[in-house]
Structure 1
């Protein structure tokens, strides 16, 4: 039986779920574009988007607000798809880059880069990518025992994350005040000051990686049936797992490079998308849209809850995600 054909419980619910997420994303985007310290009417917003309004309005909308909204949706989609990959490979709803420690590894790479090379954006992006891949390789090697099992990977990942957190704290304490402040601000996870120049490189990496991961979707579904079944159907289980993990880490590192470590979106988006769409397995479109909606909503709240002061978006996602994690842990404990 083709798993791709038995993926959904309710096809109508799946389509309605996707449409609902698109509508919510669109609505929040329009509200975010038109609201703020400078509130715009519908006609002013349309003129600014068309480039025919006053120059200051065009700048506010197209150069300040629009790149932030675009990157919030892009980074949220990347986190949702990354979480889907890891939860599928580990076969556990706790399997996400946040819990396993890949976010922490990317942040370690950023701190090292700030201390050694300063805060140049592309240096930070490279540091986040190297740190994420390095931590993933370490977790994978330590968890490998004639293959990788989900529970072992989670336990090893939590241990490595704890050690990297301690290392990060030590580096922040030992660094100069300027470097420590830059790294701490980055570590909060924020979209403040995001521009097209900063966002487009990360977005390109994300789109290319998502396209690559999409080509592995069928193999990923076969892996969910078990390594023996996947191998019997012609899928090289371990090699496919490595490619999928690399894609998931690359997505997480790209997000960390652009906005810092944004927590809990990768954990929550796949499971919320699964419940909304009524699917057997989470699909990339559903998880991506859910991740985009969650991060866009969190960023909008970070700008408006304590206006005119703005919170880092990571503070909002941690606050909401902590509640979700407690609920998930209680739910999982009842099923044991």
Structure 2
């Protein structure tokens, strides 16, 4: 029997990871970094990976430095951070709901963030900061409604999924109505955002997401990871082990909503990454539990791979990253539902 890896942090905290889970997370991180280097090196001014790495380290020429740091790195950085936030947020949602379909795409939180952004764009003509604020407020408002309808002790299992599906349907109608009230230019901007796109992204768009990741990732991994693993065993078992169920569930739900909302503000409501990344991470690690760190890096790798594929699959045409993740994630969802039916779970 292999022993878990233990990494001790300041303040007496320690992080435990099974060796296989640590290896999967490391490989996903390396894959995300490698695809990012290839993405930076592509385009009308191609660069080899060694030139890209040298430029990232500050040893490139003036042309390479401008292209890498000003034009291509912001897009890659936004993709990596968005994927990481969606992967971690999806893992928390699936663990809290104890359901592989417990994704923000299905539970209505992505649609809630979208409603907040559309309100800012259509009603107020807001810029990037207003979009970020609208996304967060919309996500938090959706979370409050879902929590009110399920109850703090009911925010798990089938009840959470069914309530979330109903909220998602309502918000889809609201978003459609907001689009009909927009001017042509505002509607075009809103539709591009709703598709999920990284075109034209800069570090200003990703700055709120970077702050959210810096605060929420250590909080979730170091302070709530062990409690989340206990919650997966059931409320009775977790309560017997001393977990304050209501407080921990509320804290984790708030963290997941914020992660997904800030990710939506940075890149739009990119579909299915939050659903797929935790599932793939769990299958690769073969380890029970939420697999938070592998899911985070898996999300970053999936997002980066989808954006890279969208830019390269059809020469002369770029697909928005949300289109690529929707095609792949939709196929994965159909397969997952078929597998659940064969196993008798649905």
TM over 0.5: yes
Structure 1 range deviating more: 12-21 or 317-326: 12-21
Counterpart contact for 1:206–1:254, Cα < 8 Å: no
User: Could you tell me how far apart the structure 2 residues matched to 1:163 and 1:277 are?
Assistant: 37
Residue 47 of structure 1 and its aligned partner are, at CA, apart by 4.5
Q: How does 1:132-151 map to 2 (within 5 A)?
A: 132-144=139-151, 147-151=154-158
Residue 295 of structure 1 and its aligned partner are, at CA, apart by 0.3
Q: How does 1:278-317 map to 2 (within 5 A)?
A: 278-317=286-325
Equivalent residue number for residue 75 of structure 1? 82
User: Could you tell me how far apart the structure 2 residues matched to 1:63 and 1:71 are?
Assistant: 13
User: Could you tell me how far apart the structure 2 residues matched to 1:42 and 1:216 are?
Assistant: 38
Residue 148 of structure 1 and its aligned partner are, at CA, apart by 3.1
Equivalent residue number for residue 46 of structure 2? 39
Residue 77 of structure 1 and its aligned partner are, at CA, apart by 0.9
User: Could you tell me how far apart the structure 2 residues matched to 1:29 and 1:148 are?
Assistant: 37
Residue 184 of structure 1 and its aligned partner are, at CA, apart by 0.7
Taking structure 2 as the reference length, what is the TM-score of the superposition?
Answer: 0.90
Structure 1 range deviating more: 189-198 or 293-302: 189-198
User: Could you tell me how far apart the structure 1 residues matched to 2:121 and 2:167 are?
Assistant: 22
Residue 143 of structure 1 and its aligned partner are, at CA, apart by 2.0
* Equivalent of 1:85 in 92, 96, 113: 92
Q: How does 1:178-193 map to 2 (within 5 A)?
A: 178-193=185-200
User: Could you tell me how far apart the structure 1 residues matched to 2:83 and 2:152 are?
Assistant: 33
Question: RMSD in angstroms over aligned alpha carbons?
Answer: 1.9
- Structure 1 residues 19 and 243: CA distance shift in structure 2, 3 A: closer
- Structure 1 residues 306 and 221: CA distance shift in structure 2, 3 A: same
* Equivalent of 2:118 in 78, 93, 111: 111
1:330 and 2:338 matched: yes
- Secondary structure at the aligned position of 1:38 is classed as coil
**How many equivalent residue pairs?**
329
* Equivalent of 2:239 in 231, 244, 249: 231
1:221 and 2:229 matched: yes
Residue 223 of structure 1 and its aligned partner are, at CA, apart by 1.1
Equivalent residue number for residue 202 of structure 1? 209
- Structure 1 residues 124 and 150: CA distance shift in structure 2, 3 A: same
User: Could you tell me how far apart the structure 1 residues matched to 2:104 and 2:196 are?
Assistant: 15
- Structure 1 residues 42 and 273: CA distance shift in structure 2, 3 A: closer
- Secondary structure at the aligned position of 2:122 is classed as helix
Structure 1 range deviating more: 20-29 or 139-148: 139-148
What 5-or-longer segments of structure 1 have no aligned partner?
A: none
CA deviations on 1:104-146 (whole Å, 9 max, x unpaired) are 0000000001122213100010000000011111112112286
User: Could you tell me how far apart the structure 1 residues matched to 2:197 and 2:44 are?
Assistant: 19
CA deviations on 1:143-187 (whole Å, 9 max, x unpaired) are 228633410111111111011101111110122112211111110
1:255 and 2:263 matched: yes
- Secondary structure at the aligned position of 2:269 is classed as coil
User: Could you tell me how far apart the structure 2 residues matched to 1:43 and 1:12 are?
Assistant: 31
Residue 197 of structure 1 and its aligned partner are, at CA, apart by 2.1
User: Could you tell me how far apart the structure 2 residues matched to 1:71 and 1:178 are?
Assistant: 25
User: Could you tell me how far apart the structure 1 residues matched to 2:226 and 2:279 are?
Assistant: 20
